Amino acid sequence: MCSVIQILESCSYAEKDQLLQICKIRNSGASKKVILLELFVHKSGLSDAEYSKLIYRESNSSAYFQLKNRVKKELEELIPLLKPQGQSDEVNKRIECTELLLQSQVLLGRGLKIEGAKVLEKSLKKAIDGDFADLTLSIFDISQRFKLEEVLSKKDLPELEQVIKSHLQILINQHYGQEPRQGNREKNTHLSQILNQLNFDRKNWGILANIRQSITEKKFEEASSLIEDSESDFSHSEGHRDVLEEFYIAKLQLLLQTGNYREVIQNCKKLHTKFSLSPENQLELVQREWIALFHLNRYEEALILLKKSLHRLCPEKTGKWKYWESIILFRQNMLKKALLLAHECQSDLKNSPNYYLGSKMLELMILFDQNDQDWLDYKIENLRKLVCRWRGKISVRIEASFSLFYELQRHLPYESKGDLLQSAYFILLSSGKNDYVWNPVDFELIRYDKWFCEKINHPAFSKVR
């Protein structure tokens, strides 16, 4: 282990002084730690007995050696703050990348999501430039933990897996079978401990991955069976908070997808009291609770949750929260306010094509209800251009629903309801097969084909039989 003197000898005089100044900021000026470090910096070369006598007025005081140990620990904490000198270019780049990685976690941990994401992205760029595959894996882990899909997303996983496997294989080829440089040494027992932990985590995350995949593929019975079989094991994993929280979030997702909205709310209440969730999972939980309230037509409760919790938890998603509020106002028949808010949220949704066009679809639904033909003509033409431009990049339910709305607006009044219901677009939407399946937790909170059925019986369309 390095001694205090060895640590200080690795520093230039300017760096020693810098460490001393930082120590003075962290401790009071009268602190014996500061006094001893100042002696080490400005009166180097004395013996321990001499330093002890200067501070405690006696040689070889037992208190001196305890103090010296505290100074050493202080220096070990402070020395990473110094810029490295005399290192190779690769080592310097790696240190810079690691520092950015640490800074991003500190910022994200304080809730500064935008700033933290920017720093994490800088770290990723340096990791790629420096070919630091192991740090890239850490960056992915952080981006997922803090829900930063813009840095590295789940879509990058296959490529990332190849990067890590290749990096590991290179390390094995470089070092496996080489003679040890410093004699024979026993295997590190801590690695076995880590391996046991990894095996435990791999099993749980593997089960969770299967649950998520089943939900994504709409195999809800399979997902339900997996959850039922593993819930007891997960509930005994309280020391592994990450996987436990994600398990319950996945369970809520399944309950929403299968329309068990009351059960979602019951589970949310239990989770609020049982866990102190991470800010990211707290946001996920509240969003799912809000969606359940909305689908149960409990609009006032949903509005309270939106304004008191969601805006506070994630002000960066103001556009989404305004979109959700405009949908509630529409359902409450507050059409003017809903139209104003649907338009207002669009500037914040341009980076989310489905939500952006979803807000424009909502505008059409409001204008149909208001029977405002002039505005309807203008908005439909405007949206037609956007749908054509983004075709293939947006949900096919938006494409089909817009075509249905376009058909409705251009051919009113119909002579019979049957003409409307026989539309190819309506059949695709109502069948809900393959890509046309309705997702109750995404942008289409009001199912377009259901609204269409409601609309053809609306008084404004009295000529429809």
Q: Both 35 and 98 in a single domain?
A: no
114 phi and psi angles, rounded to 5 deg: -65, -45
Among the three residues 305, 321, 350, which one is the final residue of a domain in this structure?
A: 305
Boundary of a domain, candidates 81, 101, 119: 81
pLDDT at 326: 98
> Mean pLDDT in runs of 10 for the chain (465 residues)?
80 88 86 90 90 88 91 87 73 88 89 88 90 88 85 82 83 69 62 73 87 93 94 72 87 96 94 82 94 97 95 92 98 96 95 95 94 89 93 93 88 59 86 91 94 71 35
DSSP state of 155: G
User: Are residues 50 and 113 located together in one domain of the fold?
Assistant: no
Judge whether 105 and 142 are in contact, CB under 8 Å: yes
Domain assignment present for residue 146? The answer is yes
Q: Name 464's Cβ contacts closer than 8 Å, sequence gap at least 6.
A: 413, 414, 416, 417, 420, 456, 457
Question: Does 317 fall in a domain?
Answer: no
State how far the alpha carbon of 240 is from the alpha carbons of 82, 234, 235, 268, 326, in Å.
35, 9, 10, 20, 39
| 141 in the same domain as 225 | no
Q: What is the CA radius of gyration of the chain?
A: 31
Say what the pLDDT of residue 79 is. 82
> What are the CA-CA distances from residue 258 to residues 133, 220, 224, 250, 428 (Å)?
40, 7, 10, 12, 20
In a domain, 414, yes or no: no
In sequence order, which ranges of 79-131 are alpha helices (DSSP H)? 89-109, 113-129
Q: Which two tokens stand for residue 331?
A: 């359902």
Total domain count, the chain: 3
Give the three-state DSSP class for 371. Answer: coil
pLDDT (0 to 100) of residue 462: 38
Residue-level pLDDT at 459: 45
- Predicted TM-score of the model (pTM): 0.69
* pLDDT for the residue numbered 59: 87
Range of the domain at 283: 205-305
One domain, residues 100 and 127 = yes
Closest C-alpha among 123, 63, 60 to residue 97: 123
73 and 111 in a single domain? The answer is no
Q: For the chain, first and last CA: distance in Å?
A: 89
Say yes or no: 298 and 212 in one domain: yes
Helix (H) or strand (E) holding 254: helix 241-257
Same domain, 20 and 61: yes
Q: Which residues contact 402 (CB under 8 A, 6 or more apart)?
A: 361, 383, 384, 387
Last residue of a domain, one of 260, 284, 305: 305
Helices (H), 275-372: 279-295, 299-305, 311-313, 318-331, 335-344, 353-370
d(CA 127, CA 97): 6
Instruction: Report residue 25 CA to chain centroid gap.
Output: 35
Cα dihedral sign, 355-361-365-371: positive
Is 297 among the domain residues?
A: yes
Residue 60 sits in the same domain as residue 122: no
The predicted structure's pLDDT at residue 408: 84
Which residues 6+ apart lie within 8 Å of 129 measured at CB? 93
